[in-house]
Chains A and B, each alone.
Chain A
Amino acid sequence: MMVCPAGKNSPNSSLPLKDASQGDTVKLMDIRGGARLQHRLAEMGLTPGTEFKVVSNSRSGPCVVLVKGTRMMIGRGMIDRVFVVRV
């Protein structure tokens, strides 16, 4: 059986934000999107290497993160494209 390299058992490899759980503190690694999207997020405080907290992330509600003291909602379409590692 193949083991997924980004599986939950390997703490140091990056995972999409949608797989992070509530209460995790994570570090932003990569945003797989256009330059514009990256810039927009950078201006909201999400630059590569930034650590932030996942306030809530469940299938039943929005993904809310705490970045530099501000709560931000991130749409479901985007949480697949933001890659983080757990800290």
Chain B
Amino acid sequence: MDGKKITVALAGNPNSGKTCVFNAITGGREKVGNYPGVTVDLKEGFTSCDGADLRIVDLPGTYSLTAHSLDEVVARNFIIDETPDVVINVVDSSNFERNLYLSTQLLELGVPIIIALNMADVAKSRGLRINIPKLSKLLGVPIISTVASKGEGMDELLQTAVATANAHDAAIGKLRAPNYGTEIEQHVRELAEMAGRFDVLSARPRWYATKLLENDEKTIERLRTIVGDDSERLDELLGAGQKLRRHIKGLYGDEAEIILADRRYGYISGACTETIKQTVEARHSRSDQIDKIVTNRILGLPIFAAMMYLVFQVTFLLGNPIVDWLDLLINEQLIGFLSANWGGDGILRDLVIHGVIAGVGAVLVFLPLIVLLFLGVAFLEDTGYMARAAFIMDGVMHKFGLHGKSFIPMLIGFGCTVPGVMAARTLDNRRDRITTILVLPLMSCGARMPIYMLILAAFFPAKFHTPMLWSIYVIGIVLAIFCAKILRLTVLRGEAAPFVMELPPYRLPTIMGLLVHMGERSWSYIRKAGTIILAASVILWVITSYPKSSEIERDYEIRAAAVQVEYQNSPDALEAKLGEIKAETSSRELQYTVAGRVGHFIEPVLKPMGFDWRIGTALIGATAAKEIFVTQLGIVFSVDDPDSESRTLQEKLQANYSPLVGFCIMLYCLISMPCIATFAVTVREAGGWKWGFFLFGYLTALAWIVTTLVYQAGQFFV
């Protein structure tokens, strides 16, 4: 079995320490894999044990395998489609009954399972004694006691995983799926037997039987695709499922899915009474004490506001010096060094210096701020405060048609919209999720910071910078609330999902956990810089440089020659005159390029907002990534020296526009069309191109209306 490849999937509840197990096994080295057919990125890591190469896939943390939230669909589809060799089910032993609910569903999936009874130390300190051999026999699966935060039990877990995978069929044979009681069990078996007659369903007939009884829409859809050619027999199977559902409802008065859930808990409770001894009553006293204060109706919101303030304050306090340093390093030293030492003026040189480094550099400079914000968010999540904060915010969010949990994606959105959209997956209600995704771009992301910084520095005195920056953020939040409400009353009508959430006990986060959490989200930002922004920088550089006009060049040479003759006796005046001609020529050249032409073409639409064609070309760039606005404006204005520092760009802006236009630029960039990465992730996560285009359309329209109103009204006062 040398080099045998084994795929291990990690399944478990949120808060079960699943991530901790993943980190302990893989040493935190992970990569985000993208699976065909699965619309979502899954984390995977690699390790080896007993001569086998293990690929560990971390499934999203879920409470069950129903198709209520996207996370659950992803988890179960992975097991069904990719058929891992073994599934490690991480169970929080201090929260045993709830966690085993997922296990009962995994048992029905017909894959080899191992239970990692995690946080064994916490359970012990709470006086829980679990009879592991007996429980293992009852469920028909190997059980290993682990303390993942300290790395205990990991070797044994992996060895068992390899052994179980090697004895694949025997392991499946031993599984003891829950028994639903005489009456229902009989129906489950009938249905399973019918399902088993289809070749494609024969690997897990019992799973399909229970899903049909639960009237699981996703499963029914799936069955229609995989057994599509035999629709008559399929209709018979679906019909039998519906008939049995009605029968069960008639017998018990509740829908079959409720009865099945109840029976699963009954099965668990039976297993628990036989295997668990509680010597001391479980206590949450310290968590309860903290909760009395932080979830208090009067104190809760101020404490939450203070926490948020602290997160942002720390982010900027620690981040800004690093940003300044990086800025110096990339935009001055690196570009300066290359400009000086890379001789000639080849196309490649220009492309690398003015396209690639200037474009990607503008983004990477702000990375420290984003990383620090994500670190703060990870800290709040890992301690357990985020669950409380979601509750505190629920009251406010509910009024605007959002869910308490919506605020977590929004908070992440201040760093980068893309991981924010992905964080919305935890919302179970589709409408809540889409509303959250659609208003997320209004949370001013880190990429817009360079735009604000440039405009503020160019047009406003230093003492106004901080209050104006805050006001931009607040305008975004207010607009998001307003849009959420409108969306809820129109395209996404329907009741907001009720708030039920597990209240995890407070925990001290592990450093590894924090770093991994932070790393995942930062990575999606870096990836954006490395791919989309890189490509966009190159394209933008091309469209602002080409086509070139030989006529303009010739014109310049003729005029320059004429001036040289005219001013040959006064070198100072000559230089000034030459500079003037050069600037004029560059401006003409720019207007001749693709970007210049498009900018001119859209100018009439931009006029009411106070923008001209030059801002127009920069806005085209901002569609690729917001921060490219600055890069592009730099290119547009860098008429005589593209390497000039932004101070000169600021001066040029000052000379060309009023502070009102400056403010309108900030406003427009805050609201307007999302970047390409946001568009792509919205299409993927909201499930359809139409949402991407809707997002694009409504934000652009809103930006135009708001900015026009502000500009037109502003002219009366300025």
Mark A residues whose CB is within 8 Å of B: 33, 35-45, 47-50, 55-56, 59-62, 64, 67-78, 81
Q: Which of A47, A59, A62, A68 contacts B98 (CB 8 A)?
A: A68
- The residue on A at minimum CB distance from B504 is A71
Known contacts A43-B101, A73-B501, A78-B500; 15 further A-B pairs (Cβ under 8 A): A33-B498, A44-B98, A44-B500, A45-B265, A55-B288, A56-B288, A60-B297, A60-B298, A61-B291, A61-B295, A68-B269, A69-B282, A70-B95, A74-B499, A81-B498
Cβ-based interface call for B304 (8 A):
no
How far does the alpha carbon of A42 sit from the alpha carbon of B255 in the complex, in Å? 11
Is there an interface contact between A37 and B254, defined as CB atoms closer than 8 Å? no
Q: How far is the CA of A69 from the CA of B268 in the complex (A)?
A: 13
Residue with the highest number of chain A CB atoms closer than 10 Å, among B63, B282, B503: B503
The 9 sampled A-B contact pairs (Cβ below 8 Å) are A38-B254, A39-B255, A41-B500, A56-B291, A68-B265, A69-B282, A71-B503, A72-B503, A75-B391
Q: Is B284 an interface residue (CB 8 A)?
A: yes
| Given contact pairs A42-B258, A78-B498, A47 touches B503 in the complex (Cβ within 8 A) | no
Provided the pairs A39-B258, A61-B297 are in contact, do residues A45 and B500 lie with their beta carbons within 8 angstroms? no
Are A48 and B503 in contact, CB atoms less than 8 angstroms apart?
no
For A69, give its contact among B98, B394, B398, B428 (CB under 8 Å): B98
B residues sitting closer than 8 Å to A (CB atoms) are 63-64, 66, 68, 95-98, 101, 214, 254-255, 257-258, 261-262, 265, 269, 282, 284, 288, 291-292, 295-298, 300, 387, 391, 394-395, 398, 404, 428, 496, 498-505
Please state if B499 and A75 are interface contacts (CB–CB under 8 Å). Answer: yes
| Partner among A35, A38, A62, A72 whose Cβ is within 8 Å of the Cβ of B295 | A62
Contacts of B66 in A (CB 8 A): 39, 43
Check if A61 sits within 8 Å of B296, measured CB to CB.
Answer: yes
How far apart sit A45 and B398, CA to CA, in the bound complex (Å)? 24
Q: How many contacts between A and B, using CB within 8 angstroms?
A: 115
Residue of B nearest to A46 (CB): B500
Contact A39 B96 (CB under 8 A): no
Q: Is the CB of B391 within 8 A of A77?
A: no
Decide: A71 and B502 in contact? CB cutoff 8 A.
Answer: yes
Residues of A within 8 A of B297 (CB): 59-61
Residue of B nearest to A47 (CB): B262
Q: In the complex the two chains form, is A73's CB within 8 Å of B257's CB?
A: no
State A41–B300 Cα separation when bound (angstroms).
26
Q: How far is the CB of B95 from chain A (nearest CB, A)?
A: 5
B98:A70 contact, CB within 8 angstroms: yes
Cα A68 to Cα B95 with chains together (Å): 8
Quote the shortest CB–CB distance from B66 to chain A (angstroms). Answer: 6
B102 → A minimal CB distance (Å): 9
Give the residues in chain B near A56, CB-CB below 8 Å: 288, 291-292
Question: Knowing A43-B66, A62-B391 touch, does A48 contact B98 (C-beta < 8 A)?
Answer: no
Given contacts A55-B288, A69-B95, contact A42 B257 (CB under 8 A): yes
Contacts of B503 in A (CB 8 A): 64, 70-73
Nearest CB to that of A76 among chain B residues?
B395
State the Cβ distance, B117 to closest chain A Cβ, in Å. Answer: 15
Please give, as numbers and ranges, the residues of chain B lying within 8 Å of A72 by CB-CB distance: 500-503
Question: Which of A37, A40, A67, A81 has the most C-beta atoms of chain B within 10 angstroms of its own C-beta?
Answer: A40
User: In the complex the two chains form, is A71's CB within 8 Å of B498's CB?
Assistant: no
Most buried by B among A45, A56, A73: A73
B72's closest neighbor in chain A, by CB?
A43
Most buried by B among A38, A43, A60, A73: A43
Point out the residues of chain A lying under 8 angstroms from B63, CB to CB: 43-44
Quick check: A38 and B255 within 8 Å, CB to CB?
A: yes
Residues of chain B within 8 A (CB-CB) of A64 are 291, 503
Query: How close is B122's CB to chain A, nearest CB, in angstroms?
Result: 12
A33 CB → nearest B CB, Å: 7
Set of chain B residues within 8 Å of A55, measured between Cβ atoms: 288
A40 and B428 in contact, given A61-B291, A61-B300 (Cβ under 8 angstroms)? yes
Contact B98 A35 (CB under 8 A): no
Query: For residue B255, which residues in chain A have a CB less than 8 angstroms away from its CB?
Result: 35, 38-39
Name the residue in B258, B269, B288, B298 with the highest tally of chain A Cβ atoms < 10 Å from its Cβ.
B258
Please state if B257 and A39 are interface contacts (CB–CB under 8 Å): yes
* Contact present for B284 and A45 (CB under 8 Å): no
Name the residue of chain A whose CB is nearest to the CB of B266: A47
User: Top 3 A-B pairs ranked by shortest CB distance?
Assistant: A75-B499, A42-B261, A47-B262
Contact indicator A73/B387 (Cβ below 8 Å): yes
When C-beta atoms are compared, the residue in chain A nearest to B100 turns out to be A68
B269 to chain A, nearest CB (A): 8
Q: Which chain B positions have C-beta within 8 A of A49?
A: 262
Q: Which of A37, A55, A56, A61 has most chain B Cβ within 10 Å? A: A61
A45, B98: Cβ atoms under 8 Å? Answer: yes
A61 CB → nearest B CB, Å:
5
**Docked pose: A61 CA to B297 CA in angstroms:** 5
Residues of the B chain whose Cβ atoms lie less than 8 Å from the Cβ of A47 = 258, 261-262, 265
Smallest CB separation, B430 vs chain A (Å): 11
- Specify which chain B residues have a CB less than 8 angstroms from the CB of A70 in the assembled complex: 95, 97-98, 502-503
CA distance A71 to B387 in the complex (A): 12
Residue contact B394 to A75, C-beta cutoff 8 Å:
yes
Give Cα distance in the complex from A40 to B214, angstroms: 12
Q: For A50, what are the chain B residues with a Cβ–Cβ distance below 8 Å?
A: 265
**A31–chain B nearest beta-carbon distance, Å:** 9
Whether A77 contacts B398 by the Cβ 8 Å rule is: yes
| Chain B residue with the shortest CB-CB distance to A67 | B98
Give the Cβ gap from A63 to chain B, nearest Cβ, in Å: 10
Decide: B502 and A68 in contact? CB cutoff 8 A. no
How far apart sit A61 and B398, CA to CA, in the bound complex (Å)?
Answer: 16
Which residues does chain A contribute within 8 Å of B282, judged by CB atoms? 69
Q: Are A73 and B500 in contact (CB under 8 A)?
A: yes
Q: Are B499 and A78 in contact (CB under 8 A)?
A: yes
Tell me the bound Cα distance from A35 to B646 in angstroms.
59
- Complex CA–CA separation, A72 to B391 (angstroms): 11
Which A residues lie within 8 Å of B295 (CB)?
61-62
Query: Residue of B at shortest CB range from A38?
Result: B258
Q: How far is the CA of A62 from the CA of B258 in the complex (A)?
A: 26
> Is A71 in contact with B265, judged by CB distance below 8 angstroms?
no
| Distance from B254 Cβ to chain A, minimum over Cβ atoms (Å) | 6
| A residues in contact with B504, CB < 8 Å | 71
CB contacts (< 8 Å) of A48 on chain B: these are 254, 258, 262
Residues of the A chain whose Cβ atoms lie less than 8 Å from the Cβ of B257: 35, 39, 42
Chain B's closest residue to A74 (CB) is B500
Chain B residues, Cβ within 8 Å of A69: 95-98, 282
- Chain B residues with Cβ below 8 Å from A36 are 68
On chain B, the residues within 8 Å of A37 by CB distance are 498
